[in-house]
């Protein structure tokens, strides 16, 4: 569940599900009574899969975007009931819906790309560094980005803003728009992004974040006074890994203030989960004129905090061993939210801010959770490299007999394992494997220094943390068979699986997913290669030997563990060639290996890929482990 909103009587939310007949993820708008969670109703039309849901400021109308006939269209419907009205019917998909502050107009965005007129195949011309994007392919060269105003009373549609570069509108009044965009879009080595005020009366747009021009800011939310703008962003003092904070900009003075400093915390959701879909991405919000709410990622938790702008006091609203995955305000005293825990996929709740009392409204997965053996990981800590304190969790299978265990390495690396539902880990536990989930240095939610520690040091302290964490898990649960250890991970976790493959023989089987094996080729083929590589490794193509030193492929002759390589054929983040290169190297080195390619699958296969291929992927992982653990067990005998 995601994007909960309430008119004070009912709570409306987007519920996602996997549909076997269409082999796709589908989503609908449902609602329950705010008072007791009963009387569930569906609001979106059958045949429309919903992307975004919004409620008008006067709470009398829902607006939402949804896929119908292969295009994303805009719909509106009154909260009093009745059929949804389709507002748009064009071929340009609708995205980023925003109500005006007075509720009289609706703003939405489209991207217009010239249609190819030729019936025969035509060439694609590339003349920019950032020419491709995972999930989208090669980007169009001539796109027009528009914001359109829909006047609810007259049904008139007017283009109010048009640019040659992408932008995102996040707030609107009768006087103008708040939007964010790349600050220097024609400079492909500049990654700053600003929040702007666009006046309808004419004149130049105002950069609200000019005090920190190198920062990256977005998600501007206007206060009721129309002057102050609450932002989410980072100052970029360390590219890519500077913590995201809440910020306050003032249109009248031009001042920009970091609301989160000096606290060493991350605002936003960096939690590694595979079961959450279509979240609003709302991490900062106004509660009232002097109070803001922030969603913070701290030590594997997602917590909702309240900050008083006058006293600067910060107090928890929703905390504990869980992940607050989405939220919105009903009024100054009430918040509706969705939460996830290690053993619960998604639940809808409401909290009274005055008393702190929480009420459960609905859990659509209650039957699923009751019928399965779901495990809450046992938290443990240990001394990692250089005696750094490192946190992890061990998910034990139902059996208390001798059993195998899987070291699961998260991606990122700037994300974190924690207190949310991770289906794949539960699946492995259900198949009889213990799961070791560790947050090595370089991950999120443990402070800025912890997150920076991996920069220029991939395969060093992070690798040592994982090996020492495996030792700690073995000491925690003596029923783990040390001869039956497996390792897997995707993206950065795939890189680390490859690194482990080529630097130790302690694991009986390995599965690497959407991985990196060669940083030299990654630099020029990944959609992020030319900037991510120098950000993370502090090296570029001027020193190919340094990049090769960080590449698992350079050590492939040291590999011995049977390893399965899984890769999506459409992956542009960690391109398919990364898996192919590693496969050829392993084959030449005489290592038992297999390459499995997934069609119509990009870097997001495990989270939002085609359902049948997500199932196939899980079966391939456990099948490989079972095959080679059996072989290992027989050789030990």
- Residues 6 or more apart in contact with residue 121 via CB below 8 angstroms: none
Measured between its terminal Cα atoms, the distance across the chain in Å is: 49
pLDDT for 114 equals 87
pLDDT in tens, 492-517: 999 999 999 999 999 999 999 999 99
Query: What CA–CA distance (Å, rounded) separates 426 from 342?
Result: 9
Contacts of residue 255, defined as CB under 8 A and 6 or more positions apart, other chains included, come to 211, 249
Is 454:483 a contact under the CB 8 Å cutoff?
A: no
pLDDT digits (tens, 9 = 90+) for 368-392: 999 999 999 999 999 999 999 999 9
77 contacts 85 by C-beta, under 8 angstroms: yes
Bond into 413 cis (ω within 30): yes
* Percentage of residues of the chain with pLDDT beyond 90: 96
pTM of the model: 0.97
| pLDDT (tens digit per residue) in 138-155 | 999 889 999 999 999 999
**Residues in CB range of 517: below 8 A, 6 or more apart:** 495, 498, 551, 552, 553, 578, 579, 581, 582, 585
Mean pLDDT throughout 383-403?
95
The pLDDT tens digits of the residues spanning 268-322 come to 999 999 999 999 999 999 999 999 999 999 999 999 999 999 999 999 999 999 9
Extents of the domains making up the chain? 373-636
SS3 for 232? strand
Homologous superfamily of domain range 373-636: Alpha/Beta hydrolase fold, catalytic domain (3.40.50.1820)
Alpha-carbon distance values, 96 to 64, 148, 170, 183, 351 (Å): 10, 11, 8, 20, 27
Which of 83, 86, 82, 62 lies closest to 74, judged by CA? 86
441 and 453 in contact (C-beta within 8 Å)? yes
35 vs 578: CA distance, rounded Å: 53
Task: Please count the other Cβ atoms lying within 10 Å of the Cβ belonging to residue 122.
Answer: 9
| Residue 30 pLDDT level (bands cut at 50, 70, 90) | very high
């Amino acid at each position: 569940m995601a994007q909960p909103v309430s008119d004070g009587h009912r709570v409306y939310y987007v519920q996602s599900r996997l549909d076997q007949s269409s082999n796709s993820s589908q989503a609908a708008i449902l609602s329950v009574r705010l008072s007791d969670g009963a009387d569930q109703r569906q609001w979106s039309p059958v045949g429309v899969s919903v992307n975004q849901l919004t409620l008008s400021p006067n709470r009398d109308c829902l607006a939402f975007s949804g896929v119908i006939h292969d295009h994303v269209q805009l719909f509106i419907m009154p909260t009093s009931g009745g059929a949804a009205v389709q507002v748009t019917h064009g071929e340009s998909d609708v995205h980023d819906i925003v109500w005006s502050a007075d509720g009289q107009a609706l703003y939405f965005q489209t991207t217009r790309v010239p249609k190819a007129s030729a019936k025969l195949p035509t060439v694609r011309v590339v003349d920019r560094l950032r020419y491709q994007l995972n999930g989208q392919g090669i980007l169009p060269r001539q796109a027009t980005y528009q914001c359109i105003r829909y006047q609810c009373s007259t049904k008139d549609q007017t283009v109010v803003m048009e640019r040659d570069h992408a932008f995102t509108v996040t707030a609107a009044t009768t006087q103008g728009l708040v939007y964010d965009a790349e600050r220097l879009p024609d400079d492909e080595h500049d990654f700053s992004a600003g929040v702007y005020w666009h006046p309808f009366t004419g004149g130049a747009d105002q950069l609200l974040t000019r005090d920190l021009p190198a920062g990256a800011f977005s998600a501007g939310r206007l206060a009721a006074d129309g002057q102050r703008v609450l932002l989410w962003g980072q100052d970029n003092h360390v590219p890519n890994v500077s913590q995201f904070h809440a910020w306050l900009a003032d249109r009248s003075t031009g001042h920009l203030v970091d609301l989160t400093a000096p606290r060493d915390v991350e605002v936003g959701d960096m939690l590694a989960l595979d079961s959450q879909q279509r979240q609003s991405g709302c991490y900062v919000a106004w509660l009232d004129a002097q109070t803001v709410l922030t969603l913070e990622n701290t030590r594997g938790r997602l917590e909702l905090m309240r900050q008083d702008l006058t006293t600067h006091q910060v107090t928890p609203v929703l905390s504990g061993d869980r992940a607050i995955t989405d939220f919105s305000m009903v009024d100054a005293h009430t918040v509706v939210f969705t939460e996830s825990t290690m053993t619960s996929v998604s639940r809808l709740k409401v909290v009274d801010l005055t008393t702190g009392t929480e009420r459960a409204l609905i859990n659509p997965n209650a039957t699923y959770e009751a019928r399965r053996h779901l495990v809450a990981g046992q938290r443990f800590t240990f001394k990692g490299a250089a005696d750094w304190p490192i946190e992890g969790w061990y998910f034990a299978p139902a059996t208390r007999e001798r059993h195998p265990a899987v070291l699961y390495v998260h991606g990122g690396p700037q994300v974190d394992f924690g207190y949310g539902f991770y289906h794949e880990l539960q699946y492995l536990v259900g198949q009889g494997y213990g799961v070791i989930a560790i947050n090595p240095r370089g991950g999120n939610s443990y402070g800025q220094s912890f997150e920076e520690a991996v920069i220029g040091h991939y395969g060093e302290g992070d690798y040592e943390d994982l090996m020492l964490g495996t030792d700690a898990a073995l000491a925690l649960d003596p029923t783990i068979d040390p001869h039956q250890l497996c390792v897997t991970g995707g993206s950065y976790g795939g890189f680390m699986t490859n690194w482990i493959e080529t630097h130790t023989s302690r694991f009986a089987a390995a599965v690497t997913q959407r991985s990196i094996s060669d940083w030299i080729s990654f630099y020029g083929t990944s959609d992020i290669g030319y900037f991510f590589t120098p950000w993370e490794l502090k090296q570029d193509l001027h020193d190919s030997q340094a990049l090769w030193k960080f590449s698992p492929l350079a050590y492939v002759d040291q590999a011995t563990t049977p390893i399965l390589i899984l890769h999506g054929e459409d992956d542009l983040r960690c391109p398919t060639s990364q898996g192919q290169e590693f496969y050829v190297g392993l084959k030449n080195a005489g290592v038992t290996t297999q390459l499995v390619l997934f069609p119509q699958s990009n870097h997001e296969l495990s989270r939002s890929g085609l359902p049948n291929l997500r199932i196939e992927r899980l079966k391939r992982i456990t099948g490989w482990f079972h095959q080679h653990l059996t072989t290992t067990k027989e050789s030990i005998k």
